[in-house]
Amino acid sequence: MSTRTEGLLLLALMIGLSLIFQVQMKLFGVAYGNAVAKAETWPLTIVALLEVSISWRGAVVLGLAAAQFILWLMVLARLDLSVAISIGSLGLVVSALGGGFWLGEDLSLLRVVGLLATAIGVTLVICS
């Protein structure tokens, strides 16, 4: 297997992890919002935020962030930066679609067209 193929496979794995990471971050953020809304004083707010931070979701988010960082370093060792950045930006498209499907966020026609335009733009950069 060539170095480029390895890099592309690692990048695909990183994009998949990015989707899981972004969904978990969204749910983590909701947990933070709920904790702040329930707390009546600053000390209670701090305690609630610490409890949310040391939850299982906090550990998952931290682990996913570390895994993405390591994968990114491995990708950069195998691909040109311009290629890695371009393909890696497809993670934004995948995360937006994942948010629509997994979290029920709005996927209006205009949003989908914008995501398609982004994917086409990335494809043009890669192919040039």
Q: How confident is the model at residue 125 (pLDDT cuts 50, 70, 90)?
A: confident
Quickly tell me which residue has 């919002």 as its tokens.
33
Q: Give tens-digit pLDDT for 15-34.
A: 999 999 999 999 999 998 99
Number of domains in the chain: 1
Q: Give tens-digit pLDDT for 93-113.
A: 999 999 888 888 989 999 999
Q: Give the model's pLDDT for residue 123.
A: 86
Q: How confident is the model at residue 71 (pLDDT cuts 50, 70, 90)?
A: very high
- DSSP code at position 122: H
Q: Give the model's pLDDT for residue 27.
A: 93
What does pTM read for this prediction?
Answer: 0.83
Rounded distance between C-alpha atoms, residue 61 and residue 56, angstroms = 9
Domain of 46 in residue numbering reads as: 3-127
Q: Give tens-digit pLDDT for 34-63.
A: 988 888 898 988 988 888 889 899 999 999
Q: Is the Cβ–Cβ distance between 98 and 25 less than 8 Å?
A: no
Please state, rounded to an integer, the average pLDDT across all residues of the chain: 91
